[in-house]
Amino acid sequence: MTSIQLDKSSKYDWTEHVYSIVRNNSGRVTGKQLEREIGSKYEVRYAIARLTKEGRIRRIRGFGVDKVEFFYQVTDVHTLEP
Domain ranges in the chain are 8-79
Q: Give the rounded percent of residues in the chain with a pLDDT score beyond 70.
A: 80
Three-class SS of the chain: CCCCCCCHHHHHHHHHHHHHHHHHCCCCEEHHHHHHHHCCHHHHHHHHHHHHHHCCEEEEEEECCCCEEEEEEECCHHHCCC
Task: Identify the pLDDT of residue 4.
Answer: 40
User: What class, spelled out in words, does domain 8-79 have in CATH?
Assistant: mainly alpha
pLDDT tens digits, one per residue of 34-69: 999 888 888 899 999 999 999 999 999 988 888 889
Amino acid, single-letter form, for residue 81: E
- pTM metric for this prediction: 0.75
